[in-house]
C-alpha cells in the first residue's frame, strides 16, 4: 500500500488525494517527531510560568481573559473539544473527513503547534485504521478554523462521539479505537485548541475539487468539439494563430484540445456546401475555448492558493522557531474561501454554455438539418426534449450555487470573532456544483454523439468515432425510438465521471490538456 510520509514542510495535493480517496498509509518523519518534541518543550515551559499565555493557560475566544490554574488545564482542553463538537445536519463524506484529518496532522507535524508527538502519532494511527469520525454538514464559519468539523475529529481521538469503522458501520469511537489497539489521547495544555484551529476542511475540499475539475474541463472541451462537429461548424476558430494573439494559457489549451478531437472530421465546414452558408457559428460554439479557457486559468490561480496553503502551518497561537508563542490570524479562511467561490462561478458558466450547445442541437431551426429534439419520429417521439430540461435544471442550480459564500460574514463568540470567511460553506456548495457539472457535460455528450450518428453519409473525426464507440460499449444507447431515458443519462454520467470519455479520445489524439 502507498505510504505518505508527513514532514515539517507541508504536503502536496497528490498526497491529500492519496490519503482521502486512496486510503494511503500515513507515517511521521523523524524530522517531524523531533520538531514536535522541541515545540512541546516550549509549551510546557510556558505552562509552568505564572504569566497567562493564550491557549496554554487561558480560556478561548471571548473567554481568553480568564487565567486557568494548572489543575484545570486538562479539563479545559477536553471541554473545548466537547463543546465545539456541535455540528448538525447530514454526515460529511468519508473522503472529506479523511482529508480534513490528514491536513490537520500536516500542521501538527510542522512543529508550530506544541502538540506532543504521541498525539500526532494517534492521529496517524486513526487514519491508518480506517476510522472516520462522524462530521456534520453545518458548524463551520471558516474562521478560527473549521471548528466544529475538526472538533468532531478530535473527539474521536479522545475515544468519544461516533465514527465509521473500516467496514462502513457507524459505532462509538471508543469501541473502534479499542478494536484497533489505539489508546485514546488525554489532552494537555494547548492540544485541544491545536486540533481545532485550521482551514483543513475547506482546503481538503478545494484540493479534491481541483482534481475533479481538471478532468471535467478536458471532458467539456471534448463535448464542445463533438457538438461543433454535429452542428457542421467550422474548426477554423481553433487555429493556434488566433489564440496566440490573445495569449490566455487556458484558452489556448482548450482550443488545442478541440482541434485535436476534430482532426480528420468530414463534418466540420460542411456548411460551405449548404445553399445558405453560415458566416459564423453561434457564440456557444465559437467561443467555447474562451469560456472553458477562462475556467482553466481560474483553476490555475486556485491551485496556486492551494499549494501555498498546503505548505502552511495554520494554528493559533503558534510556536515560532525562536521560542515565542504568538497569537495570530492565520486561521482565517479568506484566501481559500475566495477561490472556492471563484471556481463555483467558473463551473456555473461552463455548465451554462454546455447547456446552450445542447439546446441548439435539439432545435430544428438552429441545428442545420437535424431532426427536432433528435427524435426518431418527431411528434410520436419526444427524443431528448426532457434531457435538456434536466440539464437546464442543473444549470439553474449551479447559478444559485455560484452566489459567493465568502461575501457573507456572521459575527460570533460575543463579537470577538466578528468577521468570518464562510469558506466551509463555499467548499460544500462547490462539491455540489462539481457533481452537477459532471451531469451537464454528460448530457451534452449524450446529445452530441446521437446527433453525429444522425449525420448519415458524413464521416466523423477518428477521435469522435472512438468516443461514440466507447460510450455505446459503456451502455450509453444511440439513436432510436423513445425509451426510458433516465438509465441512458445515468450511463452517460457514469461514463464521463469515470474518465471513460477522455480515455477514449486520448487513445486517438494522445494526451490532452
User: What pLDDT shows up at residue 350?
Assistant: 98
CA torsion sign, 392 to 393 to 396 to 397?
negative
Q: What is the pLDDT of residues 131-188, one digit of tens each?
A: 999 999 999 999 888 999 999 999 999 999 999 999 999 999 999 999 999 999 999 9
pLDDT over 90 at 217, yes or no: yes
Active site residue 54: yes
pLDDT over 80 at 61, yes or no: no
User: What pLDDT shows up at residue 425?
Assistant: 98
pLDDT over 60 at 274, yes or no: no
Q: Which of 54, 138, 338, 389 is catalytic?
A: 54
User: What pLDDT shows up at residue 67?
Assistant: 82
User: What pLDDT shows up at residue 38?
Assistant: 96
User: What pLDDT shows up at residue 191?
Assistant: 95
User: What pLDDT shows up at residue 74?
Assistant: 87
Q: CA-to-CA distance for 144 and 332, rounded, in angstroms?
A: 6
pLDDT over 90 at 475, yes or no: yes
Q: CA-to-CA distance for 477 and 489, rounded, in angstroms?
A: 9
User: What pLDDT shows up at residue 48?
Assistant: 86
CB-based contact 168:94 (threshold 8 Å): no
Q: For the chain, what is the mean pLDDT? A: 95
CB-based contact 336:199 (threshold 8 Å): yes
User: What pLDDT shows up at residue 39?
Assistant: 95
Query: Residues 223-228: what's their mean pLDDT?
Result: 98
User: What pLDDT shows up at residue 271?
Assistant: 67
- Cell 510560568 -> residue: 49
User: What pLDDT shows up at residue 68?
Assistant: 82
User: What pLDDT shows up at residue 118?
Assistant: 98
- Other Cβ atoms less than 10 A from the Cβ of 75: the count is 11
Q: CA-to-CA distance for 193 and 346, rounded, in angstroms?
A: 36
Q: What is the pLDDT of residues 33-59, one digit of tens each?
A: 999 999 999 999 988 888 887 777 777
User: What pLDDT shows up at residue 223?
Assistant: 99
Q: What is the pLDDT of residues 194-210, one digit of tens each?
A: 999 999 999 999 999 99
Q: CA-to-CA distance for 58 and 422, rounded, in angstroms?
A: 27
pLDDT over 90 at 275, yes or no: no
Q: What is the pLDDT of residues 323-354, one digit of tens each?
A: 898 989 999 999 999 999 999 999 999 999 99
User: How does residue 261 score in pLDDT terms, banded at 50, 70 and 90?
Assistant: very high
Q: Tell me whether the omega of the peptide bond preceding residue 317 falls within 30 degrees of 0, making it cis.
A: yes
Q: What is the pLDDT of residues 305-317, one digit of tens each?
A: 999 999 999 999 9
pLDDT over 90 at 385, yes or no: yes
User: What pLDDT shows up at residue 57?
Assistant: 78
User: What pLDDT shows up at residue 103?
Assistant: 98
pLDDT over 70 at 99, yes or no: yes
Q: Is 269 exposed, middle or buried (0-12, 13-18, 19+ CB in 10 A)?
A: middle
Q: Is 242 exposed, middle or buried (0-12, 13-18, 19+ CB in 10 A)?
A: middle
* 383 Rama class: left (phi>0) / alpha (psi -120 to 50) / beta: left
pLDDT over 70 at 100, yes or no: yes
pTM for this predicted structure: 0.96
Q: Is 315 exposed, middle or buried (0-12, 13-18, 19+ CB in 10 A)?
A: buried
pLDDT over 90 at 497, yes or no: yes
- Other Cβ atoms less than 10 A from the Cβ of 486: the count is 11
Query: Residues 406-435: what's their mean pLDDT?
Result: 94
Candidates 30, 220, 196; CA nearest to 111 is 30
CA dihedral angle for residue 60, residue 32, residue 312, residue 62, rounded to 10 degrees: 0
User: How does residue 63 score in pLDDT terms, banded at 50, 70 and 90?
Assistant: confident
Amino acid at each position: 500500500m502507498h505510504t505518505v510520509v508527513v514532514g515539517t514542510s507541508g504536503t502536496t495535493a497528490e498526497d491529500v488525494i492519496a490519503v482521502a480517496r486512496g486510503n494511503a498509509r500515513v507515517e511521521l518523519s523523524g524530522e517531524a517527531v523531533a520538531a514536535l518534541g522541541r515545540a512541546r518543550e516550549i509549551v510546557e515551559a510556558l505552562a509552568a510560568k505564572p504569566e497567562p499565555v493564550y491557549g496554554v493557560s487561558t480560556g478561548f475566544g471571548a473567554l481568553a481573559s480568564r487565567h486557568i490554574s494548572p489543575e484545570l488545564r486538562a479539563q479545559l482542553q477536553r471541554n473545548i473539544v466537547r463543546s465545539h463538537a456541535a455540528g448538525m445536519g447530514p454526515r460529511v463524506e468519508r473522503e472529506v473527513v479523511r482529508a480534513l484529518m490528514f491536513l490537520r496532522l500536516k500542521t501538527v507535524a510542522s512543529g508550530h503547534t506544541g502538540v506532543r508527538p504521541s498525539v500526532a502519532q494517534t492521529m496517524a494511527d486513526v487514519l491508518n485504521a480506517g476510522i472516520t469520525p462522524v462530521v456534520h454538514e453545518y458548524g463551520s464559519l471558516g474562521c478560527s478554523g473549521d471548528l466544529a468539523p475538526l472538533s468532531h475529529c478530535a473527539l474521536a481521538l479522545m475515544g468519544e462521539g461516533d465514527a465509521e469503522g473500516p467496514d462502513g458501520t457507524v459505532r462509538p469511537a471508543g469501541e473502534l479505537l479499542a478494536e484497533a489497539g489505539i489508546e485514546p489521547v488525554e489532552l494537555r495544555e494547548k492540544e485541544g485548541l491545536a486540533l481545532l484551529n485550521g482551514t483543513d476542511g475547506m482546503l481538503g475540499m478545494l484540493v479534491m475539487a481541483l482534481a475533479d475539475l481538471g478532468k471535467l474541463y478536458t471532458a467539456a472541451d471534448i463535448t464542445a468539439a463533438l457538438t461543433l462537429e454535429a452542428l457542421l461548424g467550422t474548426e477554423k476558430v481553433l487555429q493556434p494563430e488566433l489564440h496566440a494573439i490573445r495569449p490566455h494559457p487556458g484558452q489556448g489549451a482548450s482550443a488545442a484540445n478541440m482541434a485535436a478531437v476534430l482532426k480528420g472530421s468530414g463534418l466540420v465546414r460542411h456548411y460551405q456546401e449548404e445553399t445558405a452558408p453560415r458566416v459564423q457559428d453561434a457564440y456557444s460554439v465559437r467561443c467555447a475555448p474562451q469560456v472553458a479557457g477562462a475556467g482553466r486559468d481560474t483553476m490555475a490561480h486556485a491551485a496556486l492558493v492551494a499549494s501555498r496553503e498546503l505548505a502552511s502551518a495554520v494554528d493559533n497561537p503558534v510556536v515560532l522557531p525562536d521560542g515565542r508563542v504568538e497569537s495570530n490570524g492565520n486561521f482565517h479562511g479568506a484566501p481559500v474561501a475566495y477561490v472556492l467561490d471563484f471556481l463555483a462561478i467558473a463551473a456555473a458558466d461552463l455548465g451554462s454554455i454546455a447547456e446552450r450547445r445542447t439546446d441548439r442541437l435539439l432545435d430544428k431551426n438552429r441545428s442545420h438539418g437535424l431532426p427536432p429534439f433528435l427524435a426518431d419520429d418527431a411528434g410520436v417521439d419526444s427524443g431528448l426534449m426532457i434531457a435538456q430540461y434536466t440539464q437546464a435544471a442543473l444549470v439553474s442550480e449551479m447559478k444559485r450555487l455560484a452566489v459567493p459564500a465568502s461575501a457573507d460574514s456572521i459575527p460570533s463568540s460575543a463579537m470577538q470573532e466578528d468577521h468570518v470567511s464562510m469558506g466551509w460553506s463555499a467548499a460544500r456548495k462547490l462539491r455540489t456544483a462539481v457533481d452537477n457539472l459532471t451531469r451537464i457535460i454528460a448530457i451534452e455528450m449524450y446529445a452530441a454523439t446521437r446527433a453525429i450518428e444522425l449525420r448519415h453519409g458524413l464521416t466523423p473525426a477518428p477521435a469522435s468515432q472512438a468516443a461514440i464507440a466507447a460510450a455505446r460499449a459503456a451502455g450509453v444507447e444511440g439513436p432510436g425510438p423513445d425509451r426510458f431515458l433516465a438509465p441512458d443519462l445515468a450511463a452517460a454520467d457514469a461514463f464521463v465521471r469515470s474518465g471513460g470519455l477522455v480515455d477514449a479520445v486520448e487513445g486517438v489524439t494522445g494526451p490532452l490538456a
